Amino acid sequence: MTVPRVVVVAGLAIAFFLIGCRTSPAPEDPMRLAVAKARARAKATRSNHESFISSLCPYPKEGLLAGYECSSIARDRERCLEFSLDRERAALVDQSYGKEWRDLDGLYEDWFRARCGVDQALRWVDLATREWSDRTGQGLRENRCVQRMLEERLFFHASRVGRMDGFWRLVEVRQAAGGRALASLEQARAATEKPAVVKADLSGSVRPESWRELVYRLDVALARPPILAQRHCEMLRLEGDCETKLTLYFHSIGEDADGLVVCKF
Structure confidence by residue, pLDDT tens digits, 219-238? 999 999 999 999 999 999 99
Find how far residue 218's CA is from the centre of its chain: 18
Structure confidence by residue, pLDDT tens digits, 21-67? 554 455 566 655 544 444 545 455 556 788 888 888 887 766 555 56
CA-to-CA distance for 174 and 251, rounded, in angstroms?
9
Q: What is the mean pLDDT of the chain?
A: 80
Please state the domain extents for the chain.
Answer: 37-259
What are the angstrom distances between the C-alpha of 127 and each of 99, 211, 213? 40, 9, 13
**What pLDDT does residue 130 have?**
87
pTM: 0.76
For 123-147, b where at least 16 C-beta lie within 10 A, e where not — what string? ebbbbeebbbeeeeeeebbbbbbbb
- Whether 161 shows a pLDDT value over 90: the answer reads no
Q: What's the residue count for the chain?
A: 265
Structure confidence by residue, pLDDT tens digits, 107-138? 999 999 999 999 888 888 889 888 887 665 55
Q: Are 67 and 263 within 8 A, CB to CB?
A: no
- Whether 79 shows a pLDDT value over 80: the answer reads yes
